[in-house]
A and B are shown apart, each in its own frame.
Chain A
């Protein structure tokens, strides 16, 4: 009964919210702490970086849903070696992220067919 609901839950989550996709993108390449994720987002050239509260609420919910999980608390190199909470992506999280990527690819294909983007453009 539980798994059923979860599976349906994952399907229901697409499209992901912007902040959720960013989180999964960051964690896909390795464990991150909260500020690390924000820095990743800034590095991706996003103009409106999500607020800290927004991001942590997303983290809490995604952890509840089993898309990500907490990793060990350990010192962070970039924050004067203060200890930070790290997060890592789960298999379910990866599946959801891939689902979102597929969805975006489909949109891109459609955009190309509609000649909104020249071939190869990002």
Chain B
């Protein structure tokens, strides 16, 4: 083969290899590369013959593969390096500023929508996800007594002896503490104004157990507990702030119920410990003192301590449960004759949030749906914008802008809009969260931690940006394909819309689907809330003001003195102008604060012979005569207490459920109930009432027993005042009246009964408000989407519609035609959404009260509402068909 021929072959090989380079490089350098290789080939052939040439071929292959790949990878690098982003941002900002209405609309929608989501996210994150502010909170457990072998109480307080046993247990149980809670009067100095505070009385190891150190001073030392312990107190930061935040407080003396305590420490600001309760909400504390008794020597049958244990690091919950169960068996054998008492642990965090988890999970999912709705909405807005700019894209493509530039610009615009919306949302969430916390039930766990912080704000803004970019992907890819010829083609074929039209329709269907699910969820929760509001709690809260007057034994050593004070307070309250009636109780309804006892009525017809069933656990409360009447409770048999007590007769009023259990068909009045230690006292039933519900507004709790407060040594009572006056205006009168009776007495928990009821339904109220907000928002967005589709379709099909009119169709028919298009989308959305309703129903089951997740009435009204709104959204633009004048329209074309 001749040299020339070989060189020609080589050149062909080099040209082939040159294709490995990206086009822009080839355009510039390709020829030169091939020429240079050709020069080399000529040299190689001259110097070493065919062999050397073959080696060059191979080398050229390796070179081209390597450098071709390198060069192809380079645009991405150059794009990053050369600062195109800055220029893109500048251009995108400028373009957006030219469309302020669009920016406002998008930022507004995202701000509100994502803001709502951010609020929910904040609450869910802070309450359910963020670890509690203790050392290794996963190893902390509360321990409860399970009495279900005897009566219906699955979560009872521990006895002091149980705590002592847990402390001795060793093994995986590193340490244990017992906690009591007391409400006491507190004075920063002797003679200073007394306020009531909540104090947790604990084993001295509590802070070590939690792994928390005071910021000022120290925690309790080991020997500062038990009998003859020194009276020392550790204040929460909040209480410390309230009394002046003086660093010199260490070593000073404060008074609890008049007794001196030395301040040894102040806790950090973020320390928020609550004592999870056997029943009712967790209890927070303002200060901590130590137990002045030996836990091992307490009464084993009296459950009154919350038990807190720390497990050794790395212990599985099962191992902890086994260890606690073993302790439980020791206790059962020793103190309960092995009748089946059990102890069990519950993780502190799970225990704390167990009550709100179902509602928060529903809210969280609803929030995610809302974000999806927002994304679809944003995508369709960007699509519409891209459609407007179709010309611009096509022209710039024709002028040589490459596809990636157009894609980049569109993505950038979406991202910028999203970021702006996210920022607006973060701001909105700051206020929204505050509003929510103000609205939230007082017992919302970790309420104090629910604040929008920087990480959350960053997540919300980032989510906004991400949404923007995701929403821009479809319009971006579509814009990249736009070119002059397709533009000309699409404007030539009227009424088309092609793939883009289908895409926008799919988006509307998705919006309808999502809003259907949100609407159903919202509808069900609102209806359940409505049921709650309409529920009869067994008393009439209107016009009632309640106030608690603590009478600690330290001030008023003799209980008779307390009775006398109660009597005088009652009389003075009655004398206030406008007051119509006064009553008093140890436990207000809906506060879950009664004590529990097992009671039985020997010889009653309802006795079954099964001692467990015949000794139900009941809520015991003390009331003064007149309480039943003031509260508007219903007496169904006998009478309530009379003002005059009869000597030698201890009266009791029981509730309908207890009466029915023991007297299924006869009157309970007159029955005798043995009561107190070893049943020495006998109570005589004088009346039967309907429950003034203690736990939930919508259902009865455990059976109730009302004693006369004077018979059962109740010192601190809540007074209930019914008046014709505005309850708030009464407060100062009540205050001065109580002060006149005894200046040492403080008022606590001044609130109207309506507030008490309101607080009991707050959780549901919040869910209802948020979810209906989500649902309405989603529905509006879907309606806007439909409006856009139908109005676009009318514009696009103007020509076709005009033609139809010209050949004899009437306007009504055409409106129906256009409406039908919208209706088809709605129906498709609803059909797709139906399984979603079913799934949402499953999630909702734990949240709803008195409403089935598939409640036909709610579903029907949701369907009706959705249908109405969407049809209006279709009809408004469809009406424009009526204005089409065929002659004029066709002439214009």
Contacts and interface: CB of A to CB of B under 8 A. Distances in A.
Interface of A: 5, 33-35, 38, 51-57, 59-60, 79, 82, 84-85
B67 A35 contact: no
Given A51-B59, A60-B29, A79 B66 contact: no
A60 B25 CA distance: 8
A60 B78 CA distance: 13
A52 B36 contact: yes
A10 to B, nearest CB: 15
Interface string B1-38: 00000000000000000000100010011011101110
B67 A34 contact: no
Contacts of A59: 29
Contacts of A84: 32, 35
B45 to A, nearest CB: 13
A19 B875 CA distance: 71
B609 interface: no
B36 A51 contact: no
Contacts of A35: 35-36, 39-40
B36 A56 contact: yes
A57 B37 contact: no
Contacts of B83: 5
Given A35-B36, A56-B67, 19 more contacts: A5-B83, A33-B36, A34-B32, A34-B39, A35-B40, A51-B60, A52-B33, A52-B36, A52-B60, A53-B68, A54-B63, A55-B36, A56-B33, A56-B36, A57-B25, A59-B29, A60-B25, A79-B35, A85-B35
Interface of B: 21, 25, 28-29, 31-33, 35-37, 39-40, 42, 59-60, 62-64, 66-68, 70-71, 83
Contacts of A52: 33, 36-37, 40, 60, 63
B32 A56 contact: yes
A34 B35 contact: yes
A59 B25 CA distance: 11
Contacts of B60: 51-52
Given A51-B67, A53-B63, A54-B63, A60 B39 contact: no
B74 to A, nearest CB: 8
Nearest to B67: A53
Nearest to B29: A56
A59 B30 CA distance: 12
Contacts of A82: 35
A118 B68 CA distance: 44
Contacts of A85: 31-32, 35
A53 B64 contact: yes
A5 B21 CA distance: 28
Contacts of A56: 29, 32-33, 36, 67
B496 to A, nearest CB: 44
A35 B33 CA distance: 9
* Shortest Cβ-Cβ A-B pairs, 4 listed: A53-B67, A51-B63, A35-B39, A34-B36
B33 to A, nearest CB: 5
Contacts of B37: 52
A83 B37 CA distance: 14
Contacts of B31: 85
B475 to A, nearest CB: 31
Contact of B40 (A5, A38, A57): A38
28 contacts: A5-B83, A33-B36, A34-B32, A34-B33, A34-B35, A34-B36, A34-B39, A35-B39, A38-B36, A51-B60, A51-B62, A51-B63, A52-B36, A52-B40, A52-B60, A53-B21, A53-B64, A53-B67, A53-B68, A54-B66, A55-B36, A56-B29, A56-B36, A57-B25, A57-B29, A57-B71, A59-B29, A85-B35
A35 B32 CA distance: 9
Contacts of A57: 25, 29, 67, 70-71
A38 B62 CA distance: 18
A80 B33 CA distance: 17
B41 to A, nearest CB: 10
B35 A53 contact: no
A117 B31 CA distance: 44
B53 to A, nearest CB: 14
Contacts of A79: 35, 39, 42
A53 B40 contact: no
A54 B21 CA distance: 12
A56 B71 CA distance: 11
A57 B70 CA distance: 9
A54 B67 contact: yes
Most A CB within 10 A of own CB, among B36, B42, B62, B68:
B36
Most A CB within 10 A of own CB, among B21, B35, B42:
B35
Contacts of B67: 51, 53-54, 56-57
Contacts of A55: 36
B33 A53 contact: yes
A82 B38 CA distance: 11
B233 to A, nearest CB: 64
A56 B37 CA distance: 11
B391 to A, nearest CB: 32
B132 to A, nearest CB: 50
Nearest to B64: A53
A56 B64 CA distance: 11
Contacts of A33: 32, 36
A51 B83 CA distance: 30
Nearest to B30: A56
Nearest to B20: A53
Nearest to A84: B35
A51 B17 CA distance: 13
A82 B29 CA distance: 16
A59 B29 CA distance: 9
Nearest to A50: B63
Most B CB within 10 A of own CB, among A5, A38, A56, A85:
A56
Contacts of B42: 79
Contacts of A38: 36, 40
A57 B25 CA distance: 8
Contacts of B39: 34-35, 79
A35 B38 CA distance: 9
Contacts of B25: 57, 60
A54 B272 CA distance: 65
A38 B39 CA distance: 10
A85 to B, nearest CB: 5
B280 to A, nearest CB: 66
Nearest to A63: B28
Contacts of B64: 53
A55 B39 CA distance: 15
Nearest to A55: B36
B60 to A, nearest CB: 7
Contacts of B21: 53
A112 to B, nearest CB: 37
A55 to B, nearest CB: 8
